[in-house]
Structure formats: C-alpha cells, structure tokens
Chains A and B, each alone.
Chain A
Amino acid sequence: MKKAKPNPKANRNILLITYLIVGLFIGMSVYLGYFIQVQSEDVINNPYNSARLNSFEERVVRGKILSDDGSILAETIISENGTETRNYPQGDLFSHVVGYSSMGKTGIESLANYYLLSSHINPFTKAMDQLADKKSDGDTVVTTLDKTMQSIAYEALGDRKGAVIAMEPGTGKVLAMVSKPTFDPNLIDEQWEDLVNGDQTEARLLNRATQGLYPPGSTFKIITALQYMREHPGMYNDYRFGCDGIYEFQRFTIQCYHKTAHGEQDFEAAFANSCNGAFSSLGQELDLTGLKHLSEQLLFNCEQPISIPYSKSMYVMEDGAKEWEIAQTVIGQGSTLMTPMHNLMLTSAIANGGMLMQPYLIERVENINGEIVKQFMPAQYGELMTATEAKGLQILLERVVTDGTGSALRTEAYSVAGKTGSAEFEKGKETHAWFVGYAPAENPEIAVCVIVEEGGSGGKAAAPIARQMFDAYLLH
C-alpha cells in the first residue's frame, strides 16, 4: 500500500479528542464518586428501596430510637432462642411519630430505616461478629422529641380525637407530635386486622398531625389578613366594620361565633375577635387570583418539607368565584383543607420573621457506643413572606391573646401570640377546635398547633392545651 504523507494535524486532533474523552470519563467518575460519598445515603433511604434495606436485617440488629433526653422509644430485644422483637417501652405515647416496623414501616421507623440498619461499630468488632456469625449492632437514632412535652400533649388531649404538635420556630426541631386516637405499636401484629378493617371513623393508624386534613376555620384568617395587608400596605388598619353578630348580604348570612355582636371593629380588632362578618365583608374586595397565589406560596396545593408521610393541603377557590364561596373561603370554611403540621409551619414562619425552617425529627445518629455518626443541622426551607409582613402578622396574633379570643393564654409569666379557630365541618356537629401560636411573643422559642376534633370553640378547647405546652416548656 502506498504511504500517505505523514499527517501531523490528524495526529494532533486525535490526541485532542483522546484528552477530551478521557476528561469526560474522569468527570463521570467524579460524578459517580460524589453520588456514592455524598448523596447516596439520602437516596437509598427510600421506601422503594425497602427490599434492599430490609436485607440488611440479616446482618444487623435494628438500632434503638431515643428521645432527646435518651429515653428509649424503640429497641430490639433478642430472646435466648435468638428471636428478635421490636419493643416500644413508651407504649402508645409515641405511636404515630415513632411508628412501627413489622407491618411495613411508618414514622421514624421508616424515615430512619437506613440508619437503624447500618452499623458503625469499629471494624475489628465487626470482623469478630462476622467470624462468630453474629449480627452487628445497628446505629442509634436520637430524635428531637422531648418526652415531657410529648406526655403533656398526650395527657392534655385526653380521650378526644385530634393532634398536638410543637416545634422550635428558629430551628425546625419537632418537640412533640401526638395524634389521637393512638395504637400500641407493641401489639401492632395482633391488632393489625382490627386497625385496618375495624371502625373506620377511628382511623387509629392515621397520623392526624401530618395526614389529617381539616377545614382551617378562623386560623385561615391569617392568610386572608396577609392578602388584605398586601393589597393595602400601611393603611389596612383604616378598615372599619360594624358587627351585630349576623352579617347579611344579598341572600346569604354569615354568623359570628355564637352570634356574638362585636360592634365597631377595626382591622386588628376584627382579627383579634375573629369577626366572621368583617372578614367575609372585606373578602369580597380581595384579588382572588392574588389570594390563590398567596395560598400556594404558603404551601397549599404543593409538596411540603415534611419527612414523614403527609397529606397535601388543598385550596381551590379561583378568580370569578361567587360571593358565598368567597365569604366562606376567607374565613376558612368552604373547600379549603389543611393539616395541623402545615398550620404549625405557617405559624413558625411568622414567628421566625417569615423564614420557614425545615421541620426535622432526627437530631443525630450514634453508633452503639454513643459516638456520633451523623449530626443533623437546622436548615432553612425558604422565606414564606417578607419580614415586614411577618411583623404585621405578629402584631395581629399578639392582639388575639391580649384583647381577643385567645384569653386562655393571657399570663404574667410570658406573652403569647396565636390564633384560635372553630371550624365547622358537618351540620349539627360541634366545630373542630384549633389553636396555633407561639411564645414568648417577643422572642419565640416554641410554636404549637392544637386541633381537637368536635371540641367546640378553639379558645375554650384548644387554647388551654397550648397553654399547658407553653407552661411546661417556658416555666419548667
């Protein structure tokens, strides 16, 4: 074959392309390495990967779950013949939030599945365990849950259905999460059939704190008020309304709670007294597209930063809605539904100057000897509203306690800001009682959300539970 002229240009280009491709492969390897080193832990701890994680149980004894002060919430006990049982020493106190692990996994048992089934004991012990064909001890998950706060919430709710949640607005640490009625996770296997197919109105397995969808009632006035404030910057307190207990317009009437006549109301007073007439009236003037947009900004109709299973809150009213629908929606009746956890997040964001901290339940992961494997840090989720707007709402919420429906929280010891709600959900039944709030008002350390199903008025049924929570946390 004849020889072509040597082609230095071609060789240079070949080398160029070779470098390019080798560079691309190095880039891809770094990408994979980053995935393995940094991202994989969060990725693989996914219910869709449960089969793989559960196979870890063949080599690791599921670790303990502890409260923030070290009380055991869940542990695995190995009997002499080697059978393992998951034991929950607190009975049904933490049933929903800690969850169970034998009939599928829920709560923290599911959230922390990967950590509980990973073992960070020292390599030598691990090797010895393997030699002896013995399982290694799984890591311990320390939660943010405060046993005292949890007990107070549990006792305060008593036999009533509902939920109580508390968190630190500045960090997102969840301190307590109670949902009633409860179930005993120790007996989950025996009672499974009954829990799943038994009395449907009980819905014992449902974590009402994050999965229960309720009409927000007057707690929604926080959002209506914010929209009104946005539309009337700096002059919203010029608003006036004369309340005689029953607000009539066109063919409809809206009643204030127990037809109480509030008399001459300005904006703050209407909010503090939860005057339905005033809000239904001012709602007619609102920009409905703006209100829907605001609701979605405040996490309605979208995914929320909650790490355990939750229901999405719903807000449906569009521009062009009829007067009656508007009058209902702006006072939290109508078709709007939200979870207690969502309501707590909004309150926390207001308390924290508009910034929502991502709620979290796991404080840290330790190996069996108590050495820290992983520490979780507070993380910002995002600004739900501006600091000025948050400040405006804080003033409104403080007035609720000082001059309005939140009188149950009036105390010398600390100041509270909050909002009550009494949500109608079915004709002829008592209203659901809501309270959301935080304390101390000037420097919030704790935010609480209470809902008591069919509890009656928020001020009478829900606020006193919040009071107990604040007392316990702030006056210990």
Chain B
Amino acid sequence: MTNLIVEISRYLIILLIAIYTYYNFRFFSMKNEEDRNYACSRQLVCMFMLHFLANLLIVLNTKSEELILFYGMQVLFFVCYLSLSKFFYKKISRLLLNNICMLLGTGFIILTRLNPERAMRQFLIVVVSAVVTWIIPFIIDRVWQLVKLAWLYGILGVLILAFVCIAGNTSFGAQLSLTVGGISVQPSEFVKISFVFFAAARLYRSTKFKDVAITTVIAALHVVILVLSRDLGSALIFFITYLFMLFVATSNWLYLGAGVMSGSAAAAAAYNLFSHVRRRVEAWRDPWADIDDKGYQVTQGLFAMGTGGWFGLGLYQGMPQKIPVVDKDFVFAAISEELGVIYALCLLFICVGCFMQFMIIAVKMQAMFYKLIAFGLGIMYITQVFLTVGGVVKFIPSTGVTLPFVSYGGSSVLATFVLFNVIQGLYILKRTEEEEYEEG
C-alpha cells in the first residue's frame, strides 16, 4: 500500500507544481482583481497540498515523529506569514508572497530529505529573517530620504567586502564568510542589496559622463575586491547588475558595448591568470575528461538529473548525497533527481515569474531611483538563479553560487528576504500612488 502512495504522490506533486506555475503566468494576463485573487488562492491550495504530500513521503520513509512536528511548524509558519503579511500590508503582492512560500517549501522538503538537522536550522533562520525584514516595506513606503545615502551604501559596501577579503574564512578556495559570535555570516549577500541602492541613487542623481565615471569606479572596486576574494560568482553578478543598471539609466548603447567588451576582456584575463577559473571552465567543456577530479561534481550532477529523468525517482529513492555541495550550489540537481526535471523546471520558471513581476514593477515606477532599484534587484536575483542552475545543467561553467530561498545558507536567506521585501515595499508604494491618482 505504501508503494502505491509513494507512486501516486510522486506524480501528484509534479501535477501540483505544474498547476501552480501555470497560475503564476496566467496571472500576468489577468486584469481584474477578483480573478487575480482567485488565481493566488488556487496557488496556495496547490502549495499546501504539495507540501503535505512531500512531507507525508518524508515521514513514511523516515518514520520520524520529530519530522511530523517539524512539518506542523512549517505549516504554522506559512499560515502566519501569509496572513500577517496580508493583514499589515493590504496592498502587498500576493503572487510574490506565494512564490516565497513555494520556494521556501521546496527548500525545506529537499533539505529535510538531505539533512534534517540543517533543514531545521534553515527553518529557524527563515522565521527570524521573516520577522526581522517585516518592517522593510513600511520603510520603503515612508522614508524617501533613502535616495540621499548613495555614498553611505557605496563606501559601506566596499569596506565590508575588503574586510572579508582580508579577514574572511576560506571555504572551497574562496574567502566568503566571517564568523561572528559563532555564526558564520556571508556579508557579500547583504552588500548585493547596498550595491543596488548605491548604483540606483548615484545614477538617479546624474548621468553626466563625469558622475557615471565616478560611480563606475566604485562599482568596479566592488567587483575587483570580490575577484581578489576569489568569489567569482558574486563578482559576475555585481558586474552584470551594474552594467544593465547603467544601460537602463542612461539608455546609452555605448556604455553597454564598452561594458560587454571590458567584461569579456576581464573574463579572458581571469581565465589566464587563475587556475581555479581554468578548472571550472575545463570541467564545463569536458567534464568526462577528468571525471575523478575536476569533472566530478558536474558529472555527478548530470548523473543525478539523468537518472531522475522527467518524473524523478521519488523522494529517498535517489542518491543526491553523492553530489558534492548538494545542499548549496547543486540543490537543483538533487531536486531534479528525486522530484523530477519537470518539477525542477517549474521551480525555475517560478523564479522567472518573480523576475518578471520585479520588471513589471520597475516599468511602472515613475521615479528613476525606485525604477532602478526594482530593476537592479531583479537582475541581481535572476543572474544568481541563472548562474546556479546554468552551472548545474552544464549550460555554463559552474560558478559556485546558490539558489535563493532554496539552497541551504543563512545569509542568503536573510538577504533574499530583504530583497523581496524591498520589492514588496515598492509594489505597495506604486499601488498607493495608483489609488491616489484614481481618487484624485
């Protein structure tokens, strides 16, 4: 009987996330508020059912009472988070809220399956982050002076990155984290946000060549320090974000062209200078040539996804533990292996859905500062998703970045909450504006 439950839930879970993803995009073509609310409610039904089925499988497999309790706590958190958010912020984007829960839920499911202890720690961090960042939309909505702090964002960002570069702990050959009071913090995650604020504030103030040059120097400083810290994934994310923000702020194709060229030159230089860059590129080009060493992670990821196939092997039926760093960089491979590539692709498109929502907000914002913030954060987010998933599926060389809200990692969760709540703040701001306009 258990077998039947396992088999049926395997397909049901895929069906549910497919429906969820369908509504995510159907939503964009809906004009009327009632339809939209209906779509969002349907999504929640799918989300909770999926979460239940997956946890049923987890409990059936582990026979752990502790995990039943853990499931209960997750449901309690989702219910509180959704209802309190809607209660305090009447105009909040329900779609983004749902997506946050869907991504977190998937993260909890796969982390529990990989390592329940880590999943519980992740859960704790999620709860704290959700509470701490709850105030952000309120600040965004009221405090317009944020635009005046350009230099504060810029200098703070550079200082923090420089400090980590010098004093940071090394992991996988990169200086990424600081240990503060026994907790490992990855400050570059937070600098991502201050960086977008810096660039938005500066580029909003002036797009004269001289000012652009100064802004670019500070931005480049961020990137260079990250390269020196050997955190090339983040360096790439910062670079792409700044380049696109500059282009949108100035509408100047020359800047874009010059940026792309200097970026390519820098990439070529990095390839020739750093052996760890060459390693990654070689592992991408032909992971089979050195399957024992360089190509090991990539090939194990491909084995996991290939063996899982479209429908996955089912939770606990695969061997995702064989992939190095599976709960961080390669979480996408673990999801593909056990929940199926269809599930993983749906998840990918939920991320794309979030990005599109960010871009719609960016387009609708009147003030260039806000426009650039929504745009910059959106680019930052989607670049990170692209780098991590692209690296796993061997579309691009793997850069060692994580999948926001899904991968294990405290700093990433907190920073992503900040990011989403800034966007929520802008969304609320926009809707308030629209309503005032309609009333006036």
Pair A4/B367 contact, Cβ less than 8 Å = yes
Q: Do B4 and A131 have beta carbons less than 8 Å apart? A: yes
Q: How far is the CA of A137 from the CA of B341 in the complex (A)?
A: 25
Contact A43 B386 (CB under 8 A): no
> Which residues in A have their C-beta under 8 angstroms from that of B74?
none
For the complex, what is the distance from the CA of A27 to the CA of B390, rounded to whole Å? 11
A10–B244 contact, CB under 8 A? no
A28 and B390 in contact (CB under 8 A), knowing A3-B366, A14-B362, A21-B382?
Answer: yes
For this complex, into which size category does the number of interface residues on chain B fall?
35 or more
Q: Which of A1-54 contact B (CB under 8 A)?
A: 1, 3-4, 6-7, 9-11, 13-15, 17-18, 21-22, 24-25, 27-29, 31-33, 35-36, 39-41, 43-44, 46, 48-49, 51-53
Instruction: Verify if B221 is at the interface (C-beta below 8 Å from A).
Output: no
Known: A25-B348, A49-B303, A49-B307. A13 touches B367 (CB 8 A): no
Task: Check: A130 CB closer than 8 A to any chain B CB.
Answer: yes
Q: How far is the CA of A6 from the CA of B368 in the complex (A)?
A: 8
- In whole angstroms, what is the CA distance A4 to B368 when docked? 6
* Bound complex: CA A18 to CA B363 (Å): 11
CA distance A9 to B300 in the complex (A): 45
Nearest neighbor of B340 in chain A, beta-carbon distance: A36
- When distances are taken between beta carbons in the complex, the residues of chain B under 8 Å from A127 are 4, 7
Q: Which residue of A lies closest to B295 (CB)?
A: A48
Chain A residues near B304 (CB-CB < 8 A): 52
Q: Across the interface, do A44 and B368 meet the contact criterion of CB distance under 8 Å?
A: no
Complex alpha-carbon distance, A33 and B382, angstroms: 20
Q: How far is it, in angstroms, between the C-alpha of A13 and the C-alpha of B248 when the chains are bound?
A: 6
Is B36 part of the binding interface, using a Cβ–Cβ cutoff of 8 Å?
A: no
Q: Assess the B306–A36 pair: CB atoms within 8 A.
A: yes
Stretch of B86-94, B131-139, B180-188, B352-360 that contacts chain A: B352-360
Pairwise interchain contact A17-B395, C-beta atoms closer than 8 A: no
Residue pair A10, B144 in contact (C-beta under 8 Å): no
Q: Which residue of A lies closest to B256 (CB)?
A: A13
Question: Which of B3, B248, B341, B371 lies in contact with A32, CB distance below 8 A?
Answer: B341
A285 interface contact, C-beta 8 A: no
B345: interface (CB < 8 Å) = yes
Instruction: Kindly state whether residue A55 has any CB partner on chain B within 8 Å.
Output: yes
Q: Give Cα distance in the complex from A383 to B317, angstroms.
A: 45
Given contacts A4-B368, A52-B322, A131-B4, contact A43 B302 (CB under 8 A): yes
Task: Report chain A residues within 8 Å CB of B355.
Answer: 18, 21-22
Bound: A211/B309 CA distance, A: 34
Residue B349 lies at the interface, judged by CB distance under 8 Å to chain A: yes
Q: Is the CB of B366 within 8 A of A6?
A: yes
A-chain residues with CB within 8 Å of residue B368 when the two chains form the complex: 4, 7, 10
Q: How far is the CB of A38 from chain B (nearest CB, A)?
A: 11
- Kindly provide the distance from the CB of B80 to the nearest chain A CB, expressed in whole angstroms: 32
Say whether A28 contacts B356, CB under 8 Å.
no
Tell me the bound Cα distance from A7 to B319 in angstroms: 52
Nearest residue (CB) in A for B372 is A10
Closest Cβ of chain B: how far from A466's Cβ, in Å? 37
Closest-by-CB residue of A relative to B146 is: A1
Contacts of B300 in A (CB 8 A): 48
Instruction: Kindly state the separation between the CA atoms of A14 and B373 in the bound complex, as whole angstroms.
Output: 12
Contacts of A39 in B (CB 8 A): 306
Instruction: Give Cα distance in the complex from A40 to B355, angstroms.
Output: 30
Instruction: Check A31–B249 contact: CB distance below 8 A.
Output: no
A133 at the interface (CB under 8 A from B): yes
Interface size band for A: 35 or more
Chain B CB within 10 A, most for which of A9, A24, A33, A49: A49
B389 within 8 A of A: yes
| Complex Cα–Cα for A31 and B305 (A) | 13
A35 in contact with B249 given A49-B307, A52-B307 (CB within 8 Å)? no
Q: Which residues of A contact B160 (CB under 8 A)?
A: none
- Do B248 and A17 have beta carbons less than 8 Å apart? yes
Report whether A24 and B386 are in contact in the complex, using a CB–CB cutoff of 8 Å. yes
Cβ–Cβ < 8 Å partners of A10 in chain B? 248-249, 251, 368, 371
A203 to chain B, nearest CB (A): 26
B151 at interface by CB-CB < 8 Å:
no
B278-316 vs A, Cβ < 8 Å mask (1 yes, 0 no): 000000000000010000000110111111011000000
Chain B contacts for A49, CB-based, 8 A: 303, 307
Partner of A52, one of B7, B319, B375: B319
* B57: interface (CB < 8 Å): no
| Whole-angstrom CA separation of A44 from B291 in the bound complex | 13
Across the interface, name the chain A residue whose C-beta is closest to B370. Answer: A1
**Do A1 and B144 have beta carbons less than 8 Å apart?**
yes
Contact B303 A43, beta carbon cutoff 8 Å: yes
- Is B247 an interface residue when CB atoms closer than 8 A count as contact? yes
Q: A10-B371, A17-B244, A55-B319 are in contact. Are A40 and B3 (CB under 8 A)?
A: no
Closest chain A CB from B51 CB (angstroms): 24
- Contact, CB under 8 Å: B356 / A25: no
A130 with B3: CB separation less than 8 A: yes
Residue on A with the closest CB to B8?
Answer: A127
Chain B residues within an 8 Å CB radius of A25: 348-349, 352, 386
Residue of A whose beta carbon sits closest to that of B337 = A52
B393 interface contact, C-beta 8 A: yes
Across the interface, A36 reaches (CB within 8 A) one of B3, B310, B317, namely B310
A35 vs B392: C-alpha distance when bound (angstroms): 12
Question: From residue A275, how far is it (CB to closest CB) to chain B in Å?
Answer: 44
Chain B residues with Cβ under 8 A from A1's Cβ? 144, 147, 367, 369
- B318: nearest residue on chain A (CB-CB)? A52
Which residues of chain B in 361-401 are interfacial with respect to chain A, using CB atoms and an 8 Å cutoff? Answer: 362-363, 366-369, 371, 375, 379, 382, 386, 389-390, 393-395
Residues in A neighbouring B348, C-beta threshold 8 A: 25, 28-29
Using known A-B contacts A1-B367, A52-B319, determine if residue A44 contacts B251 with beta carbons closer than 8 Å.
no
B81 at the interface (CB under 8 A from A): no
Contact, CB under 8 Å: A35 / B306: yes
With a CB–CB cut-off of 8 A, which chain B residues contact A41? Answer: 306
Residue of chain A at shortest CB distance from B322: A51
- Given A13-B247, A48-B291, A131-B4, decide whether A32 and B366 contact each other with a Cβ distance below 8 A: no
Contact present for B395 and A31 (CB under 8 Å) = yes
Within the assembled complex, what's the spacing in Å between the Cα atoms of A280 and B4? 74
Please indicate the chain A residues that have their CB under 8 angstroms from the CB of B306 in the complex: 35-36, 39-41, 43-44
Give residues in B with beta carbon < 8 Å to A: 1, 3-4, 7, 144, 147, 204, 244, 247-249, 251, 291, 299-300, 302-307, 309-310, 317-319, 322, 341, 345, 348-349, 352, 355-356, 359, 362-363, 366-369, 371, 375, 379, 382, 386, 389-390, 393-395
16 contacts between A and B (CB under 8 A): A1-B369, A10-B248, A14-B362, A15-B359, A28-B348, A29-B348, A32-B395, A33-B341, A35-B393, A40-B305, A41-B306, A52-B303, A52-B318, A52-B319, A53-B307, A130-B7
**Given A48-B300, A51-B319, 6 extra CB contacts under 8 A:** A1-B367, A10-B248, A15-B359, A22-B352, A36-B310, A55-B318
Give the B-binding residues of A (Cβ under 8 A): 1, 3-4, 6-7, 9-11, 13-15, 17-18, 21-22, 24-25, 27-29, 31-33, 35-36, 39-41, 43-44, 46, 48-49, 51-53, 55, 127, 130-131, 133
